[in-house]
Amino acid sequence: MANPQHPSGEDSLIARYFKPLATDPGAFGLVDDAAILKSSGEDIVVTTDAVVEGVHYLADDPPDTIARKALRVNLSDLAAKGATPAGFVLTLALRTKDDGWLKPFADALGEDARSFACPLLGGDTVSTPGPQMISITAFGRVQSGRMVGRTGAMAGDRIIVTGTIGDAALGLDVLKGGAAAKALASDPAARDILVARYRIPQPRNVLAQAVRDYASAAMDVSDGLAGDLAKLCAASGVSATIDTVSVPLSAPTAGLVARGAVGIEALLSGGDDYELLCTLPEARCADLIAAGRAAGVAVTAIGTIVPGNEAPRFLDGAGGELVLKRLSYSHF
Amino acid sequence: MANPQHPSGEDSLIARYFKPLATDPGAFGLVDDAAILKSSGEDIVVTTDAVVEGVHYLADDPPDTIARKALRVNLSDLAAKGATPAGFVLTLALRTKDDGWLKPFADALGEDARSFACPLLGGDTVSTPGPQMISITAFGRVQSGRMVGRTGAMAGDRIIVTGTIGDAALGLDVLKGGAAAKALASDPAARDILVARYRIPQPRNVLAQAVRDYASAAMDVSDGLAGDLAKLCAASGVSATIDTVSVPLSAPTAGLVARGAVGIEALLSGGDDYELLCTLPEARCADLIAAGRAAGVAVTAIGTIVPGNEAPRFLDGAGGELVLKRLSYSHF
């Protein structure tokens, strides 16, 4: 909404920081109230996720990481659905028009928009007296009828996750000065790795086509592996058995577990992983693992879908069952 | 995200209040992280608008009117673009999970979704320690290439608005106990009319096809007629002359102006009208006015597009020019 004649505060803010991101012709350079998403008969996949200061990110997180996280949590949903990013709209609720915050925010958002080929199409900037909030609605394209849902998991399917689990929860714990911070007091490199995993998720859009080609059901792990798997199982009308020692851990996280500084339960129910959780027939597993190898993303089989409607069971190395006190993070 | 096995707070909230609104098959009953918007080659029009407690609505506004306003400000954008509503996604940032607030909110949202044929496709519910906020991204469909933009106004085009201008700004003034409240101390019916115009906009979706068929440029009036017209003119590279006495006023508003209780400038720069502002060739005016008559919506010609790039001029009844101290509402 750039208006050279009578620039209001909101208009000049949008023109200065966000117009450069609106590279798609459907964004009309942000001079209109609406954008156009072209379609030639594919399905448009729509996902929306908001992050709130003090809830989903910390007030003193760097603005560039806040921007990347806000977009990437949505990109992660598109990846899990097998969709190719097509663009996004942004609602930004700001307390103040602080150039020192907005410039790195917009620059980083623009970098991610380019590198994930997901251009800014439009948005709304509003003032708030409360915590800042960023709400993004992202769009993807998928061949008609080919979106990967949560309901297709079948008994016998293998369960895979990408990357490593639990790092982000430990990164938040480091930032909050919790047990992980104390245990890593003399290991700044490990702290940095975990904090980066919390602040800047790595959505697995590079595997979207493999998800579409091979997965029977998929979602991203955002609220904790245990709780998210329970949701996928419930939607599919199945249960699951997880071989807990197979759950992939990063080196810093595995070190903390080995030293007894954190328990595996906290990793399984921690949030903010933004890894893919897929089910697929055993016969397709090698293909998905190969696709991961080609893309440089670890793909690890962690268990099996079984009949039933109980909560998924997490078995320890001796075949005993872990009892999880909570399955996932909930804001209420 | 209903999960009968392990309902988290957020999941049960969504299942209870919002699943009944997710009537479109593309919403998957809100059990997935993503929705599907089907397309058969039309353009998808995307618009996003957020409302913040204490900024766009008052903390003690009834929850049903807040819900309607949050959706309708987006429907108004779709109408102005000539698009047919297709659905919306909702981000709801809540301080508490208060059933007494959520039930009427969700019920009213569902009623509007049905009556405007704009179903809930998905959303995100987050907690906030600050003011509540509702961000909606709405989708419309329009034949490829037929979205009505802001850039097509031509010198000689007539300028029309729907409905009446200034009521909502006065309604807010009534709620805040301002000059309008004092002037209408003994006229509760007039106060109610103005307050309702502030709380529950009447988006003109019934005229979307006429906008598409006849308008050279269009937008909705949300931040004040004067400022919004200036934006449209700037986008089109033209100026405008407005015959201020032609600007349509409701009976309560006209009464306040006649008594000198409010000035016309406050009405022209007040926000929240959510009426359509269109430009169109003189030869199409009768068609648009007839379409308005058929739909029961007043359509009034208020001026003419002229060459130039100055701010639009507002002429009084004697041909003099009003000098507006501000053109529109800005949050910064």
**Nearest CA to B61 among B112, B113, B8, B132?**
B132
Contact B3, A231 (CB under 8 A): yes
Average pLDDT, chain B: 93
pLDDT tens, position by position, B11-47: 777 778 999 999 999 999 998 989 999 888 899 999 9
Q: Which of B85, B107, B142 is the last residue of a domain?
A: B142
Residues B223 and B309 in one domain: yes
> Does residue A268 sit at the B interface (CB-CB below 8 Å)?
no
pLDDT(B330) > 90: no
**Nearest CA to B224 among A8, A128, A5?**
A8
* CB-closest option in A40, A45, A56 to B36: A45
- CATH, residue A231: 3.90.650.10
- CATH, residue B121: 3.30.1330.10
Q: What is the ipTM of this complex?
A: 0.91
Please indicate if the annotation marks B99 as binding a ligand: no
**Contact call for B126 and A37, based on CB within 8 A:** no
Which residue has tokens 């859009």? Answer: A205
Q: Which of B142, B168, B189 is the last residue of a domain?
A: B142
Residues A65 and A135 in one domain: yes
* CB-closest option in B33, B45, B93 to A52: B93
* CB-closest option in B36, B89, B140 to A43: B36
Residues B133 and B165 in one domain: no
> Does residue B137 sit at the A interface (CB-CB below 8 Å)?
yes
Residues B117 and B165 in one domain: no
Residues A182 and A310 in one domain: yes
The average pLDDT across B216-222 equals 97
Is B274 inside any structural domain? yes
pLDDT(B222) > 70: yes
Residues B168 and B218 in one domain: yes
> Does residue B48 sit at the A interface (CB-CB below 8 Å)?
yes
How much is the pLDDT for A96?
84
Is B17 inside any structural domain? yes
Q: Which of A142, A167, A188 is the last residue of a domain?
A: A142
**Nearest CA to B198 among B180, B186, B218, B183?**
B180
Residue by residue, pLDDT tens for chain A (332 residues) are: 233 333 456 677 777 899 999 999 999 999 898 999 988 889 999 999 999 999 889 999 999 999 999 999 999 999 999 999 999 999 999 998 888 999 999 999 999 999 999 999 999 999 999 999 999 999 999 999 999 999 999 999 999 999 999 999 999 999 999 999 999 999 999 999 999 999 999 999 999 999 999 999 999 999 999 999 999 999 999 999 999 999 999 999 999 999 999 999 999 999 999 999 999 999 999 999 999 999 999 999 999 999 999 999 999 988 899 888 777 755 44
SS3 content of chain A, % helix, strand, coil (to 5): 40, 25, 35
> Does residue A309 sit at the B interface (CB-CB below 8 Å)?
yes
Residues of chain A contacting residue B125, judged by C-beta atoms under 8 Å apart: 331
Residues A168 and A297 in one domain: yes
A236 is in which domain, residue-wise? 158-322
User: Torsion angle of alpha carbons B220, B226, B228, B231, nearest 10°?
Assistant: 150
Q: For chain B, what is the domain count?
A: 2
**Chain B nearest CA to A243, separation (Å):** 21
**Sequence-ordered list of residues with C-beta below 8 angstroms from that of B296, at least 6 positions apart, any chain:** B206
Element (H, E) at A123: strand A120-127
Q: How far is CA A158 from CA A214, A283, A299, B208, in A?
A: 11, 9, 12, 50
Q: Enter the DSSP assignment of A83.
A: P
Residues B89 and B28 in one domain: yes
